[in-house]
Chains A and B, each alone.
Chain A
């Protein structure tokens, strides 16, 4: 076996992306802390940093305690979880599908959850308590259906995407029909379809936190699988990897992540598509860095967007899903324009 002196020397050479990665992680961590604290301070009633601190550490029926502890803190934490889950789900799917345009919508999460939730809200309003569960199951069942229908001696990313498009169209038609047939009750469903976390509290937090943590831990465990799939189906197989099994598990995992987000926040699009995309432009597509950075980025984005959504149009509150599309769309276009040169080069 040949080991030369040059080896030990070359070990010290940094990875080409090392500096960018460090910068991005430090920036996102700082942004997360700042936006998290900021979202507790800012609102129709604003508080100073020390007031926020006092309200968190002392019990007591003060105004600050009620607003910060009962309303803003759980909302901020849920925003962070929703952002993380969606961004990580998107990052996983873009890897699995080998397609930068993949997001949770592509495996039917949006249409499946949307249809199930709307059906509950419009046809069975008495069971509104089951809405999160219904949305989650709708997402999961649709994803599994798409996976099953794209099976033909194995799956391929292209076939999954095509089947996904077809199923999404069908479910979308059902959703539209439902809304037309019950047009008098549509009002109730609209905020949910637009996506938002207005009015969430500790109940919702308790409902999702353990599932979200479990799914995020699983995502970390599955990073090696994702990296292997990135080499392409054939290469992964040639390296002894069970491609179909990994792909299936990763799709289920991203459905869980997105389903958790959808169950409390409704249809928030965009985060899952854009966050991993921007992160990838900055630090490359190695899942070991892409997934954690996307998680942080997603949390930061949703916290900031939600803070703006609930304050900028006071006393009205905008669903954060709408705001994300409003602000995020143009920003994404800007990034693509700006990044065009470097992307084309690589």
Chain B
């Protein structure tokens, strides 16, 4: 579904470099990108969404290089929600979700019956139907995030990219968003790639974790394989205890590795 080949990217001003990343994400998988700040997670996501141009390498969606696709064509297959969305947008939820049909529209005509049906579907799936005529600034963070997700899925994408979809949300809204993501994946087969900061959430909801540090993939695999003491030590510089409960892995941080001794 999604293939990344020898993707390289440099940002000279900050000495940041993404070093030849290779990924293969099959259809219908939920993949989380994790890693410390500045590891290149968001950069990788943005390269996949064609928001930035790589130095070399390529991203393939369904076998076609995104380089050769127009933005509009790509937007019919791949949707992304960037991290910070404008809180001051004075649109109703319904109006926002309408924008999701933009990549499918020809000219400036009114929405077609089909578009209306898909907008309804997106509002239903995200449980936002009753908020349709509410203005975005008046919503809670969780509701607003669901409205944006409704817009993204109104694009009817095969791949959905989410950049820290739960940051700034309280815990119940975080779970709500993660449940919604799981539902989109299970019910509609959407391939989902997201950047997550909460490692326990990443382990709980993903089929696969991709761990980045210093612009390179360090670990990759199912949560059971990736969640190990070495990974926490190498990537995050912490000692962690790893637990299991009902088939779900989670960790608790114990202490920072060297800092304790060197002080």
Tell me which of A3, A10, A232, A285 contacts B133 (CB under 8 A): A10
Residues of B within 8 A of A286 (CB): 90-91, 95
Given A232-B86, A240-B75: A16 and B70 within 8 A (CB)? no
> B49 to nearest A CB, angstroms?
6
A74 to B178, CA, bound (A): 64
- Using known A-B contacts A240-B74, A241-B71, A346-B90, determine if residue A16 contacts B102 with beta carbons closer than 8 Å: no
**Per-residue contact bits, chain A 216-246, to B (CB 8 Å; 1 contact, 0 not):** 0000010010001011101101111110000
Q: Is residue A1 within 8 Å, beta carbon to beta carbon, of the partner chain?
A: yes
B72 touches A4 (CB 8 A): no
Which residues between 77 and 133 of chain B lie within 8 Å of chain A, taking CB atoms? Answer: 79-80, 82, 85-86, 88-92, 95, 99-100, 102-103, 108, 117-118, 120-121, 124-125, 129-130, 132-133
Shortest Cβ distance from B98 into A: residue: A227
Question: How many residues on A have C-beta within 8 angstroms of the other chain's C-beta atoms?
Answer: 30
Contact call B99/A10, Cβ cutoff below 8 A: no
Residues of A with C-beta under 8 A to B133: 10, 13-16
Given the complex, which residues of B lie within 8 Å of A10, measured CB to CB? Answer: 129-130, 132-133
Q: B129 contacts A7, CB within 8 Å?
A: yes
State whether the Cβ of B64 lies closer than 8 Å to any Cβ in chain A.
no
Of B70, B95, B108, the contact of A221 (CB 8 Å cutoff): B108
Q: Is there contact, CB below 8 Å, between A231 and B72?
A: no
Q: What mask results when residues 15 to 42 of chain A are scored 1 for a CB within 8 Å of chain B, else 0? A: 1110000000000000000000000000
Least distance between B25 CB and chain A CB atoms (Å): 19
Chain B neighbourhood of A203, CB < 8 A: none
CB distance from A331 to the nearest CB of B (A): 23
- The reply to whether B124 and A239 contact each other, CB–CB distance below 8 Å, is no
Contact of A3 among B70, B74, B82, B120 (CB under 8 A): B120
Contact (A242, B71) CB under 8 Å given A231-B99, A346-B137:
yes
Q: How far is the CA of A46 from the CA of B95 in the complex (A)?
A: 50
Q: Which residue in chain B gives the minimum CB-CB distance to A224?
A: B108
Q: Chain B residue with minimal CB distance to A345?
A: B137
In Å, the complex CA distance between A7 and B117 comes to 10
Q: How far is the CB of B67 from chain A (nearest CB, A)?
A: 15
The residue from B51, B103, B120, B124 contacting A234, defined by CB atoms under 8 A apart: B51
A residues near B118, Cβ cutoff 8 Å: 1
Q: Is the CB of A3 within 8 A of B117?
A: yes
| B161-201 contacts to A (CB < 8 Å) | none
* A242 closest partner in B (C-beta): B71
Check if A240 sits within 8 Å of B71, measured CB to CB.
yes
Q: Tell me whether A231 and B89 are in contact in the complex, defined as CB-CB below 8 angstroms, given that A10-B129, A241-B71 are known contacts.
A: yes
Report the minimum CB–CB distance from B153 to chain A (whole Å): 12
| Cα separation A168 to B7 with both chains bound (whole Å) | 42
- Complex-state Cα separation, A230 to B96, whole angstroms: 11
The yes or no answer to B249 lying at the interface (CB within 8 A) is: no
Instruction: From B71, B76, B121, B155, give the contact of A2 (CB < 8 A).
Output: B121
How many residue pairs bridge A and B at CB < 8 Å?
Answer: 83
**In the bound complex, CA of A71 to CA of B70 (Å):** 55
Most-contacted residue by chain A among B71, B73, B82 (CB, 10 A): B71
**How far is A235 from B95 in the complex, measured between Cα atoms in Å?**
15
Are the C-beta atoms of A13 and B89 separated by less than 8 Å?
no
Question: Does B135 have its Cβ within 8 Å of any Cβ on chain A?
Answer: yes
Give the dominant DSSP class at A's interface.
loop
Q: CB-CB < 8 A to A224: which residues of B?
A: 108
- Interface status of B27 (Cβ within 8 A of chain A): no
Pick from A4, A231, A240: contact of B86, CB below 8 A: A231
Tell me the minimal C-beta distance from A318 to chain B in angstroms: 37
Q: Given A7, A232, A241, which contacts B120 in the complex, CB threshold below 8 Å?
A: A7
Contact at B71–A284, with CB atoms within 8 Å? no
- Determine the distance from Cα of A2 to Cα of B154 in the docked complex, in whole angstroms: 13
Among candidates A13, A17, A230, A242, residue contacting B132 with C-beta atoms closer than 8 Å: A13
For residue B134, CB closer than 8 A to chain A, the reply is: yes
Closest chain B residue to A14, Cβ basis: B133
Cα distance, A241 to B133, chains bound together (Å): 25
Nearest-neighbour CB distance to chain B for A314, whole angstroms, equals 44
Residues of B contacting A237 in the complex (Cβ-Cβ under 8 angstroms)? 50-51, 71
Within 8 A of A (CB), among B134-165: 134-135, 137, 155
Given contacts A237-B71, A239-B102, A239-B103, contact A15 B92 (CB under 8 A): yes
Residue contact A4 to B124, C-beta cutoff 8 Å = yes
Top 10 A-B pairs, shortest CB-CB distance: A240-B72, A240-B75, A240-B103, A284-B90, A239-B102, A240-B71, A13-B133, A2-B124, A1-B117, A346-B137
**A/B interface sample: 23 pairs, CB < 8 A:** A1-B117, A2-B120, A2-B121, A2-B124, A2-B125, A3-B120, A16-B92, A16-B135, A234-B51, A234-B82, A235-B85, A237-B50, A237-B51, A238-B75, A239-B75, A240-B70, A240-B74, A240-B75, A240-B102, A240-B103, A241-B71, A241-B72, A284-B90
Q: Contacts A3-B121, A241-B102, A286-B90 given; 6 further ones with Cβ under 8 A? A: A2-B124, A10-B129, A15-B92, A16-B134, A238-B82, A239-B100
